[in-house]
Amino acid sequence: MPLVTTERMLMNAQKGGYAVGAFNVENLEMVQAVVEVAEELESPVILQTSAKTVKYARFPYLYALVKAAADSVSVPVALHLDHGNSFELAMQALRAGYTSIMIDGSHESFEKNLELSKKVVEACAPSRVPVEAELGKVGGKEDDIDGGKGGLTDPLEAKEFVERTQVSSLAVAIGTAHGVYKGEPKLDLDLLSRIRELVEVPLVLHGGSGLAEETIKECIKRGICKVNYATELRIAFTEGVKQVLSEKTNIIDPKIFSAVGREKVKQIVLEKIQICGSAGNA
């Protein structure tokens, strides 16, 4: 089916008490893996690309890949810009056909973040493309994103931010981090509940890779409607490729080792969709 936006997808998740998995994709095989599993599980799904992935592959290529994949399945598929780091990049994504956009002004002051997010919302409104923003700062490092030690989201600021910007969803910082966790992360779940009480729009959890299943389910129970996964997919694909090349050193056909990488990614996506509880909700 044609690409859809994330607005109805996340509102349905909020009403249904589940979350939609948002998976960062880097190449054809990862795109195929995500949509094939979503179709198998009858789940809505979000494919997303980071600013660094866009710099590497460019918007037209990525859009064409995901559109072709979405056209081949019967479940709702959205294409989302993850951590758009400027107004200009957000507008490039909009013009390229992305159906959901994140503008990340979390590295700025509250007012500058608010101003930037509102500007993107207003620019996307005529096309009815929903906008995700981030308040607080998710820690860790991944691609060009460096959240350092992070900074937790203030519930009252979150309420004001959403009301003034009219964003469609909000990524919150409750102790998660991008990249690979060093030790067991300590999430402030009570903080998440307080944010949920004051903010009506769907909430987004970044840094889903590496979190325990029980932790993610508890976050969903407390209001998370979208969970982002990137690092685990990259690790899985790379491990698949390494496995083949270490066992058969004379292979020169990329299709052979890429296919194994794709299967490894499918295993991760299958697990995450089931954890999010979105299976059967297409």
Report the amino acid identity of residue 147.
G
Q: Cα separation of 124 and 100, whole Å?
A: 9
**Closest Cα to residue 75, out of 270, 278, 276?**
278
Q: Cα separation of 19 and 224, whole Å?
A: 6
Sheet arrangement for strand 145-146: 145-146, 139-142, 177-178
C-beta separation of 103 from 116 below 8 A: yes
Q: Which helix (H) or strand (E) holds 36?
A: helix 28-41
Write out the DSSP string of 72-92.
Answer: T-SS-EEEEEEEE-SHHHHHH
Q: How many CB atoms sit inside 10 A of residue 64's CB?
A: 12
**Closest Cα to residue 218, out of 189, 197, 198, 195?**
189
To the query of whether residue 143 is one of the catalytic residues in this protein, the response is: no
Write out the DSSP string of 146-204.
Answer: E-TT-BPPPHHHHHHHHHHH--SEEEE-SS-EES--SS-----HHHHHHHHHH--SPEE
Selecting among 82, 143, 144, 253, the annotated active-site residue is 82
**Closest Cα to residue 234, out of 242, 246, 225, 226?**
242
Active site residues: 82
